[in-house]
Amino acid sequence: MSFEIPKCVSELSIEEPDAPTEKVVRIKSVKKKKLKKNVTKKPMTPLEAMQHVMWREHRARILNICSDLDRSPPAIQAVRQTRVNTLRDEAQNFMTRTRDNIHLLLGLSQTIRTHGAINPFRYDAPYVMSAVPSIIANLERLEQDNYDLGKHLLTVHSMTDSGIRPDGQGNKRKFQPFVMPDDALAKYKSFNLKLPTTNKERWQLFRPRIYFDIYLKDARPLGRFVVQLYTEAAPVVVLQLVRACMCNMHNKFQIKRLFPQLWLDVELPTDNNPALNRALEYDGKVIDHGANSYVLSFSKDHLQGFGSSIPFSISFKPLQVVNGTRVGFGRVVKGIKIFDCLQNYGTKNGTLSRGILITDCGVF
């Protein structure tokens, strides 16, 4: 037997029979492609063709361009933001403060429980041993150790030859024989001068050497340069410079102007020395300005006296044009590289861009 399941039919469906439904078909509209007209391109002129090629090259460059700017976001300084380095110190401070607070609370609770009956002050003088005897004993032991170390050092002999003799003879400097030019001594024959007998004294008298330490203000020391003076060129001027260096009057030497690739102007106050306010004795043929550089010289305008100060200059290169107008009395023999560095702090008009000081001077 077969059973059929009844269908639920509404009243409308019973009254009206099923009518065939029309299926709506949507037809997509198809766009017709426009037919391209065969248009012949106009041939380009050579100038237009070149411009077209240049445009394509420029377009390729623009497409492949890379920015030189760093557009990446800045790195996050995690250590500074998280304060990792200070966590340990803060933790120690917190623990110290907590411990002090606990001790304070313990003291307060003890005071409350005893009602202040405990006297925290001690009036009996404590017995303290003096530390003077132990200090004296330590000093005596240290002196004995130093004495033993000195005895041990005296017994040590070097395996290498240092050239130093025990009697100190090896430390003495050997001076080359000094011969004074005959032309320089010709004008002094009538004075019957007694020249020094040893070479050391002759070098110190006729060719003294002085040194200067240069310092760049608020920066760093630049070094030391050594000047050899010629006494017969300007005896009074050389004597004044040697006297100032022997007394270490480095504060009196003032660097006034600096012309790069030319010279450096320096002034030395004379303190109203009468020997420098009269006609000067000089010999302008001792040093040739055209054959030597780094020459110390002063102008012949001061041959009748300097006045309150001695202005002199140090040339940076041979200057043939100043022969006959300036008197050279010295020459830099060591520390020439310092002047190459000094020229960086001068200007065309001679003013100094940085302060230059002389911190020390002396005589060898």
Across all residues in the chain, what is the average pLDDT? 82
Alpha carbon distance 173, 16 (integer Å) = 143
The closest alpha carbon to 178, from 120, 217, 246, 228, belongs to 228
Query: Is 57 within a domain?
Result: no
The closest alpha carbon to 202, from 178, 176, 229, belongs to 178
Please compute the mean of the pLDDT values over residues 194-223 and round it to a whole number: 86
Cβ atoms 280, 237 nearer than 8 A: yes
Query: Is 277 within a domain?
Result: yes
In the chain, alpha helices (H)? 11-15, 46-63, 78-82, 87-114, 132-154, 182-186, 199-206, 235-246, 336-342
What is the share, in percent, of the chain residues with pLDDT greater than 90?
Answer: 33
pLDDT at residue 34, rounded to an integer: 62
Where is average pLDDT lowest: 12-26, 59-73, 82-96, 139-153? 12-26
For residue 222, give the DSSP letter.
E
User: 362: Cβ–Cβ under 8 A, 6 or more apart, which residues?
Assistant: 210, 211, 245, 246, 248
Helix H or strand E encompassing 358: strand 356-363
Q: What residue numbers bound the domain in which 267 lies?
A: 201-363
Query: Is 335 within a domain?
Result: yes
Query: Is 331 within a domain?
Result: yes
* Residue 143 pLDDT greater than 80, yes or no: yes
For residue 320, give the DSSP letter.
G
Task: Kindly tell me the number of DSSP H helices and DSSP E strands found in the chain.
Answer: 9, 8
User: 99: Cβ–Cβ under 8 A, 6 or more apart, which residues?
Assistant: none
What is the share, in percent, of the chain residues with pLDDT greater than 70?
Answer: 80
Structural domains of the chain, count? 1
Query: Is 43 within a domain?
Result: no
pLDDT at residue 281, rounded to an integer: 86
Model confidence pTM above 0.85: no
* Residue 45 pLDDT greater than 60, yes or no: yes
- Answer with the residue of higher pLDDT: 185 or 77: 77
- For residue 12, give the amino acid letter: L
The closest alpha carbon to 268, from 249, 248, 287, 247, belongs to 249
| CATH number of the domain where residue 242 is located | 2.40.100.10
187 by DSSP, 3-state: which? coil
Query: Is 63 within a domain?
Result: no
Task: Report residue 59's pLDDT band, with 50, 70 and 90 as the boundaries.
Answer: very high
Query: Is 318 within a domain?
Result: yes
Query: Is 59 within a domain?
Result: no
Where would I find the beta strands (DSSP E) of 179-244?
Answer: 209-216, 220-229
- Answer with the residue of higher pLDDT: 334 or 182: 334
Six-digit token string for 97: 């403060």
The closest alpha carbon to 325, from 292, 299, 359, belongs to 299
Q: Alpha-carbon Rg of the chain, whole angstroms?
A: 50
- For residue 271, give the amino acid letter: D
